[in-house]
Amino acid sequence: MVYEKIKTLSAAMEKDMVAQRRDFHKYAETGWFETRTTSIIARHLTKLGYEVLLGEQVCDKDARMGVPSEAALAAHYEKALEWGADPEFAPFTKGGMTGVIGILRCGEGPTVGMRFDIDALGVIESDEPDHRPMAEGFASVNRGAMHSCGHDAHATIGMGVATVLMAIREHLHGTIKLIFQPAEEGVRGAKSIVEKGHLDDVNYFLGSHVTGKKPEDPTVIIPGSTGSLATCKYDVTYRGKSAHAGGAPHMGKNALLAAAAAVVNLYAIPRHGAGASRINVGKLVAGSGRNVIADEAFMEIELRGATTEINDYMIQYAEDILRNTAAMYGCSCEMKLMGAATSNESDPDFCEYLRQLWHEKLGFPVSEKLMLKIGGSEDVSYMVNRVRENGGKATFMRAMTITTGPAHNRRFDFDESLMVPTVQAFCAAVADLLK
Amino acid sequence: MVYEKIKTLSAAMEKDMVAQRRDFHKYAETGWFETRTTSIIARHLTKLGYEVLLGEQVCDKDARMGVPSEAALAAHYEKALEWGADPEFAPFTKGGMTGVIGILRCGEGPTVGMRFDIDALGVIESDEPDHRPMAEGFASVNRGAMHSCGHDAHATIGMGVATVLMAIREHLHGTIKLIFQPAEEGVRGAKSIVEKGHLDDVNYFLGSHVTGKKPEDPTVIIPGSTGSLATCKYDVTYRGKSAHAGGAPHMGKNALLAAAAAVVNLYAIPRHGAGASRINVGKLVAGSGRNVIADEAFMEIELRGATTEINDYMIQYAEDILRNTAAMYGCSCEMKLMGAATSNESDPDFCEYLRQLWHEKLGFPVSEKLMLKIGGSEDVSYMVNRVRENGGKATFMRAMTITTGPAHNRRFDFDESLMVPTVQAFCAAVADLLK
Amino acid sequence: MVYEKIKTLSAAMEKDMVAQRRDFHKYAETGWFETRTTSIIARHLTKLGYEVLLGEQVCDKDARMGVPSEAALAAHYEKALEWGADPEFAPFTKGGMTGVIGILRCGEGPTVGMRFDIDALGVIESDEPDHRPMAEGFASVNRGAMHSCGHDAHATIGMGVATVLMAIREHLHGTIKLIFQPAEEGVRGAKSIVEKGHLDDVNYFLGSHVTGKKPEDPTVIIPGSTGSLATCKYDVTYRGKSAHAGGAPHMGKNALLAAAAAVVNLYAIPRHGAGASRINVGKLVAGSGRNVIADEAFMEIELRGATTEINDYMIQYAEDILRNTAAMYGCSCEMKLMGAATSNESDPDFCEYLRQLWHEKLGFPVSEKLMLKIGGSEDVSYMVNRVRENGGKATFMRAMTITTGPAHNRRFDFDESLMVPTVQAFCAAVADLLK
Amino acid sequence: MVYEKIKTLSAAMEKDMVAQRRDFHKYAETGWFETRTTSIIARHLTKLGYEVLLGEQVCDKDARMGVPSEAALAAHYEKALEWGADPEFAPFTKGGMTGVIGILRCGEGPTVGMRFDIDALGVIESDEPDHRPMAEGFASVNRGAMHSCGHDAHATIGMGVATVLMAIREHLHGTIKLIFQPAEEGVRGAKSIVEKGHLDDVNYFLGSHVTGKKPEDPTVIIPGSTGSLATCKYDVTYRGKSAHAGGAPHMGKNALLAAAAAVVNLYAIPRHGAGASRINVGKLVAGSGRNVIADEAFMEIELRGATTEINDYMIQYAEDILRNTAAMYGCSCEMKLMGAATSNESDPDFCEYLRQLWHEKLGFPVSEKLMLKIGGSEDVSYMVNRVRENGGKATFMRAMTITTGPAHNRRFDFDESLMVPTVQAFCAAVADLLK
């Protein structure tokens, strides 16, 4: 029986998966820098016999957002090689062209797409001795990059799924697409994969995210998600003209004053009657010296909405405020899109189907919740929405485990035993959908 | 001797002038409503034998600012007739075409122009029994209009000057132009007279204003003025869209919020390094009800600058702020110019000349100050500047007297004995300039 | 059978109810002015044999909010008498002590409370000939007051319920409390009734509101409501100091500028993560003249929250902003509470019970919706919450009908045939609860 | 004749003075870091035979403003020693206790005080080959510190004055006080010297500043200054609370938003009717990341006024705005005074006296201007005002020369030939005052 095979194979990989996850954790790479991570996954997929897409085959180059400078990418590339990036595959990632897709064609049948994100966060990892990665020697050696959101697990799970599916391929009828996505943090990468067309032929789509639970909670996996916010991230630069604040204040174009006026008005964007909206100016740096009219101001802004429509309302308003406020103080305004995600909902029918399937075939306890309400943003939304628009079924599952510290925290860690059942959940779904 | 004649004739008119001033005071008319006042002056000038300009001959119709509604003008016209407007001359003033100019040509020689403003303020006069106009029966019967800035004296002085100059005409060689200007309050009228070209051929220009002094101060007249501020007055209307504040705040275009943002930013216009600038939003009325997004906001704004250049800087900034703030909240912005004056300086040489002349010919004590520094705005500036631009000499004198209450106050009054010497000062200047 | 009796009696009253509703419509009275309305209901209840509470027995005098001036109340009192207020009961309403409660004690058993609000809105009714109240001669004669939210129907329904329940009293075991509440508009009256203790012994509570539906929709009544927002209304006055804007801007305390700064910051109150929040400054009036620093500013403000906790968050923030902004411009700040409501939810079990009851006993079609989501605020919330806090069951039903124009509009009208079934719904509930 | 002696001695020192000025330029030290500069001057004064005050004898320790951190001071101290600070005198300057005073007592007679400021600016000097200090090898080796305001000349002139006055001491009757002031930039040092009492017994006071002129202008020195602005400099820190901007915006206390609101309102401080006022927020740094509510904001602020009274008005307003704005967003506000100067005027009689003296005794051309109007701020004001308050005479002269680039610019340089006549001007004044 295929489900027994899935269970056995997955369980047998546990030790390897833990080792792989810790390797990724130690050599954490942030968005568009995932040279080493990409190359290791590519090597694994190649070895297994997958058709492997790399470099410009994965992401639409111009649809990537928040790409770091060429200089920074080049500097990390060298480090990645030192840290053991596979020299055959690494070159494909140059210039921030990271990410890899593995395809397995098993004759006629539908296509199942799966998303595994692989990037770390720009967090300095805790060096406290009771922080397990520190104690057990797998804390990040890449200072300022840390897997504090569990994408090290996601990448490892994806590799496990690849192994198991290849092993049960004779049971499958259809196509498998394993998408290892770069730059999910800051919601910068998914859109460029969707723009490349990789989701256009997908009939069933699954993604998952590590999520904390209470020790006494028996849930293995919650089938879907709801309530994620659409979002847009902008870097905004105002440029004016400096002047001596004592002698000629009228000769300046005060970018600091303009930015301050913009901030107050941004927060004052009228609330939307149809649901939650959000605005944040998280950073503001302006001016050069006390007695000089500031000629430059820089802001990091994000907007969110319960729906894509509400998010669009916020974007439109923010643009109007930013451009007009700059204009009224004689400054220029440059807005650079740094990230974006739409809102998305998992398909309730599909979630119900998965809940039953896992209970029957894998013996998982029936999850009390069908979908978990999440307050943040995730760019898997572009994939979920593209598949559902085309009539497919899609879900973004929550792999439940015990975590240490909240996500994005420098002390984040999790119970690695969640990886095996998550691999099983993905593979059981594929086995049934392509049976 | 002509100066003796001037002194005798002026002194003989004192009783008549007091009566005339009180008549104007009783039937006070605000800017562009001066139908009765204009008609009485026109009758006087006609009787004396002046060439008289009225209606469209006086003001450039389209250059008038802050003109009231046709309905309000028509309603007052009827009242003016009831109150004794001269039926021959009143019709010329219809539609707010008030003001009158008297011209006397005495052969070859330069042209001397004189300005007398004739309008009242929108003030409700005090009805306290110790307010002299109340006690002596000449308080305004036109509720909401009051001569609380002494223009009743100015008009009367102009009529006295007309009488005296006609009587000494055989001593004069040149042309006399007596300009009785409407709508000085709110700086709305002078520009339209200048635009009509009446100042273009003037070689010497004199205006004067009643000004308070201490009882012990012997000064009769200060020859000139300095420091008046250039100014612009705007009525600004923002129009947005109403919506239910609880159910659909995002459907509105909030004109009240936009106006509030504009106000804060208007006051924040950077100070000018070259001299004084001013901004005031004196009135703001917005919104219709507590739970409705306001769809309209109305503001009364004024800008000032120590120089016309600084005033222009303020205007430009204010426009940028008003238009961009409206735009950023999706509102329209209508700016209506309601009044304007440039800055101006009396000619120091001319002032010095007058100071000597009055001392020698009229026996006035020598004024300690050559020019009085004034902080407000006066649209006589258009006349002063036009004459000086053309190489002429111009001054705006201060006729000193004891006043009750500050100007623009509902209890304002003054010692009427200043009128005779002021007539003498004007006439002596004309006699010498056209000798 | 008691339900047949309810149906027959109600149907028989239809003509009288229409006449009564039109009488109330014609003599519309806004909050705390309901002298005539109160007196007519009091006469009706007295005639039927109810125990009648009036004046200080109804509302806690000091807990009333947004009470008009004594002078305005006194002036209307005279008009109310002219318009046919009952001279026996009118005097109880002096000083804005309107509202009336009718009590019927039918032995042992629970207490059922019902709320009927009776006030009109401050709207000028349409005088267009196609506006039915105009065409049929029952448009408001009290200019500026109009029943444009259907409280004329609510008062009439309450009177009908009183008639029917008295007629079936022998079937009932318990106590009936009919509360005719003043000043629901602006959420000003309910709290003062609750503070008086009238809801403390109520076991079951019902209120209802006229609500628009599509012609093809068969729904008679939706059993409950959800989603109403907690709210607070404030009138805020800033007082500063006037000064001449040209000469001495630093001598003023600019109340207009302070108010504008407050407005912008009020809208910028950070959104609440737990649910909807609202802020509106619906009216702002400040300043006296263009060239004077404004010494007074008046604002009408309202705050809302999806929960009472969120509303409290908004109130706290608004107070901090209002007081500190006034202080920073040297102005005083006076905040006057003009109205308030908590959020509230109908009891789902109770709604389900009523849905079944009406279907079985009255033959109403089963309402598709159990509760209607409403976006506004209603001070029935104080009653609903007090009853539920004490362990009772409470609901705020929606009486569905075809309406003309949206509520609060000057052309609002509705199909009067909703009144009979609404009386039936109330009475059937009482009959079953007290059976 | 003493004046001939002054002329000859000064002229003879020219080469040494140029060398000394270039030495100071090369080892530029910013405010409170002037260890090397102080020690070299102290050695010079000691060698000449002056009574020398150092360390806590010069500045009131607690009245110093804008003192750098102990760590930074200590680090520079080591460098100063390396760069040739005199090891005998350097230790007195530890902890930012820089500056030196030289006293020469010549029997009975009045006291003449002179101020020479010695600090550099925080500017990175130009390394362009056509920048003379670069070309001739005396550009600053202390990166980030540059004498771009001519205080290297001032210190050198003071040393020259010391040499000459000692040489003519038998002609003098009274006391000479040479004050070498630290930390004039940022107006941080003068007050602490005045607080120590050093100006209390001064009858005549002179300071001077290098000032640019046109090549064809023959002026050597303008006797005085007028129009300097009173000022205050503050560093302001707002502290709030961070929170997740998507999930819990209401849990944060947004220091960035509060600071932005403060900025807009600071610029909106009403203009002062009595003269120029200034406000500048020259730097604003707030927030840590895009999706986090900012918990800290830092601002560099300066206020100015044409008079000390107007400056006080600005300070009071700014404090009210800063504290109340922080409070309204639940943040704390810390204001740290970083520098201050009063306004000041040179004594016109004294200037007139000097103008004549220099013409007669030194043959300087008579300066066209008696006093130069300056728009900035100078903390010599504390000294000028203390002396004038006590009935003494004081002036702040302008030593005119040809300059390259505006002051405070990284390419600033000047014609060193101004140093000799400036020494002469100081010495001639002392010679005549103490004759």
CB atoms within 10 A of CB B410: 15
In terms of domains, do C142 and C48 share one?
yes
CA dist B203 and B110 (Å) reads 6
Report pLDDT for B247.
Answer: 82
**pLDDT confidence tier of residue B145, bands split at 50, 70 and 90:** very high
Inter-axis angle of helices A2-12 and A151-167, to 10 degrees?
A: 130
Q: For all residues of chain C together, what is the average pLDDT?
A: 96
- pLDDT single digits (tens) C51-92: 999 999 999 999 999 999 999 999 999 999 999 999 999 999
Task: Using the structure block, give the residue that is written with the tokens 């600016």.
Answer: D121
Please indicate whether, in this complex, the C-beta atoms of B257 and A268 are within 8 angstroms of each other.
Answer: yes
CATH number where A330 lies? 3.30.70.360
- Cα separation, B305 vs B228, in Å, equals 9
User: Which residues on chain C are in Cβ contact (under 8 Å) with B267?
Assistant: 254, 257
- Top pLDDT among C377 and C269 is at C269
Residue D117 to residues A29, D55, D94, D410, Cα–Cα distance (Å): 53, 16, 19, 19
Out of D247, D257, D300, the one facing A290 most closely (by C-beta) is D300
Q: Which residues from chain C sit within 8 angstroms of residue B259, using beta carbons?
A: 260, 284
Contact criterion met (CB < 8 Å) for A272 and B293: no
| 3-state DSSP of B86-145 | CCCCHHHHCCCCCCEEEEEEECCCCEEEEEEECCEECCCCCCCCCCHHHHCCCCCCCCCC
- The mean per-residue pLDDT over the stretch B43-60 comes to 98
Provide the pLDDT for residue D243: 87
Cβ separation of B300 and C288 shorter than 8 Å? Answer: no
Which of A287, A316, A341 is the last residue before a domain boundary?
A341
Of B244, B260, B290, the CB nearest to C264: B260
CA of D380 to nearest chain B CA: how many angstroms apart? 22
* HSE of C280, CA atoms in CB hemisphere, 13 A: 34
Contact C25, C149 (CB under 8 A): no
* B252 and B118 within one domain: no
Average pLDDT, integer, range B32-43: 98
**Which domain-ending residue is among C291, C320, C341?**
C341
Q: CA-to-CA distance for D230 and D308, rounded, in angstroms? A: 5
Residue of B nearest to D271 (CA): B278
- Distances in whole angstroms, Cα of residue D81 to Cα of each of D29, D36, D41, D122: 13, 7, 15, 20
Over the stretch A256-289, which tens digit does the pLDDT of each residue have? 999 999 999 999 999 999 999 999 999 999 998 8
| Residue D244: predicted pLDDT | 85
* Prediction pTM value: 0.90
The answer, yes or no, to whether residue D375 has pLDDT greater than 80, is no
What range does the domain containing D400 cover?
2-228+344-433
Instruction: Categorize the per-residue pLDDT at B397 as very low, low, confident or very high, splitting at 50, 70 and 90.
Output: very high
| pLDDT above 80: residue B375 | no
**What percent of chain B has a predicted confidence (pLDDT) above 70?**
100
Q: State how far residue A10 is from chain D, nearest Cα, in angstroms.
A: 36
Residue C268 has its nearest CB partner, among A267, A276, A277, at: A267
pLDDT for residue C3: 97
pLDDT at B95: 96
Q: Which residues of D touch A280 (CB under 8 A)?
A: 245-246, 249, 290-293
Q: Are residues A132 and A223 in the same domain?
A: yes
Q: Do B324 and A324 touch (CB under 8 A)?
A: yes
* Rounded Cα–Cα distance for residues A182 and B405 (Å): 78
CA dihedral sign, ordered D321, D327, D330, D333: positive
Q: Sorting pLDDT into bands at 50, 70 and 90, what band is B349?
A: very high
Nearest Cα of chain B lies from the Cα of D262 at a distance, in angstroms, of: 11
pLDDT for D51-83, tens place per residue? 999 999 999 999 999 999 999 999 999 999 999
Mean pLDDT of C259-282: 96
| Domain closes at, from A297, A325, A341 | A341
Whole-number Å distance between alpha carbons of D101 and D159: 11
- In terms of domains, do C212 and C66 share one? yes
What's the domain count of chain C?
Answer: 2
Residue in chain A nearest B265 by alpha carbon: A261
Please give the pLDDT value at position C64: 97
Do D268 and B267 lie within an 8 Å CB cutoff? Answer: yes
**How far is the CA of C71 from the CAs of A229, B376, C75, D42, in angstroms?**
53, 43, 6, 84
Task: Determine which of D242, D267, D328, D331 to mutate to test the interface with C (most C C-beta atoms within 10 Å).
Answer: D328
pLDDT tens digits, one per residue of B215-267? 999 999 999 999 889 999 999 999 999 888 888 899 999 999 999 999 999 99
- Same domain for C377 and C402: yes
**Which residue in D231, D247, D287 is closest to A282 by CB distance?**
D287
Q: How far apart are CA D201 and CA D390, in angstroms?
A: 8
* B217: CATH: 3.40.630.10
One domain, residues C114 and C12 = yes
Express as a percent the part of chain B with pLDDT over 90.
93
Residue C141's closest CA among C209, C86, C76? C76
Q: Which residues of C touch D321 (CB under 8 A)?
A: 328
Pair of tokens at residue B3: 């100066």
**Interface confidence (ipTM) of the complex:** 0.87
B330 lies in the same domain as B357:
no
Give mean pLDDT, residues B116-120.
97
Q: In sequence order, what are the beta bridge partners of A305?
A: A230, A277
* pLDDT on residue B115: 98
Which of D261, D280, D294 lies at the smallest CB-CB distance from A245?
D280
Task: Give yes or no: residues C182 and C106 share one domain.
Answer: yes
Please state, in angstroms and rounded to a whole number, the distance separating the CA atoms of residues B398 and B402: 12
pLDDT score for B408: 86
Q: What does the pLDDT look like over A121-153, one tens digit per residue?
A: 988 999 999 999 999 999 999 999 999 999 999
Q: Which residues of A277-315 are buried (b: 16+ CB within 10 A; e: fewer)?
A: bbbbbbbbbbbebbbbbbbbbbbbbbbbbbbbebbebbb
Average pLDDT over residues D84-104: 98
Same domain, C207 and C138: yes
Residues C200-226 pLDDT 10s: 999 999 999 999 999 999 999 999 999
Q: What is the pLDDT of residue B405?
A: 79
- Sign of the CA dihedral running B59, B61, B63, B67: positive
Per-residue pLDDT tens digits for C105-132: 999 999 999 999 999 998 899 999 999 9
Q: What digits encode the pLDDT tens for the residues D162-214?
A: 999 999 999 999 999 999 999 999 999 999 999 999 999 999 999 999 999 99
Question: Distance between CA D210 and CA D406 in Å, rounded?
Answer: 12
Residues B105 and B53 in one domain: yes
pLDDT digits (tens, 9 = 90+) for D300-352: 999 999 999 999 999 999 999 999 999 999 999 999 999 999 999 999 999 99
> How many whole angstroms separate alpha carbon C216 and alpha carbon A7?
56
At B79-92, the pLDDT tens digits run 999 999 999 999 99
List chains touching B (3+ CB pairs under 8 A). Answer: A, C, D
CA distance A303 to chain C (A): 12
Distance CA C57, CA C100 (A): 9
Measure CB to CB from residue B325 to each of A251, A271, A328 and give the nearest one: A328
Mean pLDDT of B416-421: 97
Give dist(CA B377, CA B306) in Å, integer: 10
What whole-number distance in Å separates Cα of residue D154 and Cα of residue C31?
79
Chains in contact with D, where contact requires at least 3 CB pairs less than 8 Å apart: A, B, C
Contact D252 C270 (CB under 8 A): yes
Q: Where are the alpha helices (DSSP H) in B225-366?
A: 255-267, 308-328, 348-357
Q: Tell me the average pLDDT across D118-134.
A: 94
Tell me if D149 sits within 8 A of D183, measured CB to CB. Answer: no
Q: Note whether C330 and C379 are same-domain residues.
A: no
Q: Is A271 within 8 Å of C276 when comparing Cβ atoms?
A: yes
State whether B271 and D264 contact (CB < 8 Å).
no
Is there a single domain that holds both residue C213 and residue C236?
Answer: no
Closest chain D residue by Cα to residue C319? D328
The confidence score (pLDDT) of residue A244 equals: 86
DSSP C338: E
Identify the CA nearest to C30 among candidates C145, C140, C152, C116.
C145
Pick the residue from chain B with its C-alpha nearest to C260: B260
Instruction: Report, as ranges of residue numbers, the positions in chain A whose pLDDT lies below 50.
Output: none
Q: Closest Cα of chain C to D233: distance in Å?
A: 20
Whether C209 contacts C381, CB under 8 Å:
no
Q: Using an 8 Å CB-CB cutoff, list chain C residues near B278.
A: 245-246, 249
Chain C, nearest residue to B376 by Cα: C246
Determine contact, residues D180/D100, Cβ cutoff 8 Å.
yes
Interface of B with A (CB under 8 A): 246-252, 254, 257, 261, 264-265, 268, 270-274, 293, 313, 320-321, 323-325, 327-330
Neighbours of chain C (3+ CB pairs under 8 A): A, B, D
